[in-house]
Structure 1
Amino acid sequence: MENTYTLTLKNDYLFKLLLGSEENKACLQDFLECVLDMPAGMITDLELLDKELSKDEITDKTGILDVKLRLKDGTTIDIEISFTDRRPCLSVNTSFAIRQNVAAA
């Protein structure tokens, strides 16, 4: 019998795949307008930026955001998915298998 998994945007890989690419900017726009309670069409342009956070001091740790973007008016938005329940959504092996299948598609 085949195992069935429910995948959500809580999965970091899926979140980045669906909302962090040029091909899916329209999805990201809809998501932001919904989450930020903006009227539809308020975001007229999105520019995806480098997701790596620069260090200010040598002791700082490097951070990588899920999505970093700039709006047409110059506003920068940093998006990082996090949740208080730290249990993994999927096992490491399952996550690796999903990445392999998505990459092959």
Structure 2
Amino acid sequence: MSDNIKMHDTENKNEWINWIEEAVDKEHIKYYEYKEFSNFQEIGTGGFGKVYSANWKNLGKCFALKSFFSLDNVTVKEIVCELKIQREVDYHDNIIRCHGITKFESAGIIMIPN
């Protein structure tokens, strides 16, 4: 891959990550501290990553956490697209609601659907 393509991919990835950070800063997306989750159990896997169930803050509330194998440009772009779609259809009863995101450095961004 040429240096120009690598640089373009990095710029695009940064653009998508900046979008996520801005959405969290403006409180459009809730941010959860990763350390507040416990009792992780893998419940599924897919093309982009794995899904875990975990308890939040020892309150007995269980969340599904969607992790990603890689945070390359394509994956981060897909995360942003999914978050945008979630905001548009959040009102519908048949949609699994995304409550927010968290970040674990070695696992990347994890979305938290209910």
Q: Per the shorter chain, which TM-score range?
A: under 0.3
TM-score normalised to structure 2 length: 0.22
Greater Rg, structure 1 or structure 2? 1
Structure with more strand by fraction: 2
Structure with more helix by fraction: 2
TM-score normalised to structure 1 length: 0.23
